[in-house]
Amino acid sequence: MRVIAGSAGSLKLKTPEGMDTRPTTDRIKETLFNMISPYLCDCNFLDLFGGSGAIGIEALSRGAKRAVFVEKNPKAVACIRENLQFTKLEEKAEVIAKDALSAIGYLEGRGVFDYIFLDPPYLKGMEREVLQKLKKTDIVGQDTVIIIEAALETDFSWLLEEGYHLIKIKKYKTNMHVFVEKEGDGIC
């Protein structure tokens, strides 16, 4: 796994050992960032369920002003810190060693994120739980785009019921990226 483009482009990243994390493949990461990279410059990026930190590091490498990484697994937290140091992006980053729901509360009052990326364990229903929590916080602004990585069979028919608007879905062979925003908000 590597950083695809930007200031840290082509650098290889470490991944935590074991089966506790599921890194996004380079090809899927490249497709995702081809869609959002024009909007990354000077943005604030939140990487929930950070794993190796590859998604947030890619955002920083491509011009994000700041990235916050949230991960509860101590081995993965250490891996994120190593990858940030290796890519020389640690000064633009904050790593929070908490579960996603606790971290959302912890981030209250510390600013709005332009992008929130969440990649929870597949098919556990955590997407809905996280979106419910995000809806009640001040870290999601009028133009915040939330990107959820999920298994293809994940049901998102409840989005509107929870106060979210579906922007688009990008499907791959085994998973997908679902782009949402809070209902009533608008994207330019």
For residue 56, give the nearest of 80, 78, 88 by alpha carbon: 80
Residue 111 phi/psi, 5-degree rounding, is: 115, 165
pTM reported for the whole predicted model: 0.90
Domains parsed from the chain with CATH numbers: 26-182 (3.40.50.150)
Which residues, 6+ apart, have CB-to-CB distance to 124 below 8 Å? none
Each residue's pLDDT tens digit, 5-58: 667 665 677 777 764 556 677 788 889 999 998 899 999 999 999 999 999 999
Predicted local distance difference test score (pLDDT) of residue 13: 75
Q: Which residues of 99-116 are buried (b: 16+ CB within 10 A; e: fewer)?
A: ebbebbeebeeeebbbbb
The arithmetic mean of pLDDT across residues 164-181, rounded, is 96
pLDDT at 145 over 90: yes
pLDDT at 66 over 60: yes
Overall average pLDDT of the 143-171 stretch: 96
